[in-house]
Chains A and B, each alone.
Chain A
Amino acid sequence: MSDGLVIDGIALPSRLLLGTGGYPNRQVMLDALVAGNAAAVTVSIRRIDLAGGLESLLDAVSGKWRLLPNTAGCATAHDAVLTAQLAREALDTDWIKLEVIGDRETLYPDVPEMLRAAGELVADGFKVLPYTSDDPVTAQKLEDLGCVAVMPLGSPIGSGLGILNPLNIERICTRAGVPVILDAGVGTASDAALAMELGCAGVLLNTAVARSHDPVAMARAMGLAVAAGHGARHAGRIPKRTYAEASSPELGLIGG
């Protein structure tokens, strides 16, 4: 096993989790998931369209990647819990990416509802991976409730604005006893690398790959960035200085 992410004792093949939404077509999505060496892939749970046109997503991804169903779009703990329970029945997994959205414009989480849902789901046997704000206090509460990871946002979902509050992300990582996965806001590879340099255990992204000009190439770049950032974090970066320090020896300069 490579230096991958471990969640609730399960070793995953990489530290990059990828979404399955918004790709130009199914084949590009599958190629991107391969190129990024996705540790797990997220799926949504939605009503079957009574007018037909069933999507065979499960046939395409099942058995190839660990599936992480989400409760995307839920606005209450009540709906999120039911969606999670349906996801468990549909996909035979107790992993759930918990999302409880408080505002349609920002897609920021509704923290009180999310905490309530997290508590109910943990009590019901779920392994909860909550999408949360970049607030260290909330992250701690989620860990205390028994969540197996915490997933703070870098910036609003789909915005591509990167990590707006790196100090908070680093603080969450420093305090957490469970894996911290940056979820939302990544726009390009340097954002993913920064998340890892700040101490995140992984990165979850979708739009930055799916809506890029070349999703397969971007997925590959994201995988490399996550690995590079993780490597740099553990190699130990030099301290920042406010003055220059020459690399070449000062002795022996000609004309001296």
Chain B
Amino acid sequence: MANGIVTQGGLLIAATGLRKTFGATEALRGIDLHVERGEVLAIMGPSGSGKSTLLHCIAGVLTPDEGRVVIDGEDVTALDADARARFRLRRIGFVFQFGQLLPDLNAVDNVALPLLMSGVGRRAATTRATEWLERLGLDDQLSKVPGDMSGGQAQRVAIARALATEPAVIFADEPTGSLDSVAGENVLTSMLAAVRELGTTVVLITHDARVAAYADREVIVRDGQLSAASRGDVA
């Protein structure tokens, strides 16, 4: 452990030769990306650069036209849709910018949902969900529905939900993009404290350099490719 970072070592994600086309648009034009176990990686790039497509291809939400993605030893690109969905449920957590919580469920039920879907019993799921919410400082929000929370609190619930299944990796797409600077920073530091402690890998999309500065490393996507400095091709 160095600088508070859990370093378990070894490669968790190996994406090679990723290509993806939408109509006439080449969104990904041959991307190789490796992520170490326990690493927090920021993906940056201008709008339309392909960074979200890259994240979705690595996470198994989209299937690349070419290339291969291996996560924790599993070739995600070789799985059929059902197997890929099961893999995502067990091994991957997602955090989006907003709108990801079910509006009619309270915080505990929102966090318990992926646990229930992966076969954990109701009582155990509720207990674990409560523990995760308390860990993220939401002791007084357990029975509230998302509409009665602040944006920052709702994002913490989403993070608790992503962490509840103890995934190998969390993919976060602009997780603080809808929050002001201070709230965004508080949410980010809460999430990173939890993932550093667990050794969870995080792949984070952000356009905000101050958010990226919390990561261990950043790569920049431009025109569907990693920039030369991101690939280590230049000094």
Q: Determine if chain A interacts with chain B.
A: no
